[in-house]
Amino acid sequence: MPTDHVSAPADGDLVPGAGAGDKDAFALLVHRHRPVALALVQRLLDDPFVAADAVQEAAVTALVGLGQLRSPERRALPAHGGHQ
């Protein structure tokens, strides 16, 4: 059965938009990378609540800094699931 599957944009395509204020692009980046970031930080900090706060703070820091990137297309997040 055929499906109408639209592939999600690559991180490198989302970063410039997110940096320009595209909330949907930023939300997709966070949604895509938060689980891996959270798992890593939980292992490092050994406290799920502190880890969640740290990942949230990192997302806020990223949101503030994305618009200041000189070459946003080169700043795509490392792929963990083939989103590049």
Token pair belonging to 28: 């997709």
**pLDDT (mean) for 40-58:** 95
Per-residue 3-state assignment (H helix, E strand, C coil) for 9-20: CCHHHHHHHHHC
pLDDT at 6 over 80: no
For residue 3, the surrounding DSSP H or E stretch is none
* pLDDT of amino acid 12: 86
Least confident of 7-11, 20-24, 30-34, 39-43: 7-11
Question: What is the pTM assigned to this prediction?
Answer: 0.71
Token pair belonging to 46: 């050994």
Q: Spell out the domain ranges in the chain.
A: 33-68
For residues 53 and 45, what is the distance between their CA atoms, to the nearest angstrom?
11
pLDDT in tens, 62-81: 888 877 766 655 544 454 54
pLDDT in tens, 12-28: 889 888 888 899 999 99
Contacts of 53 (CB under 8 A, 6+ apart): none
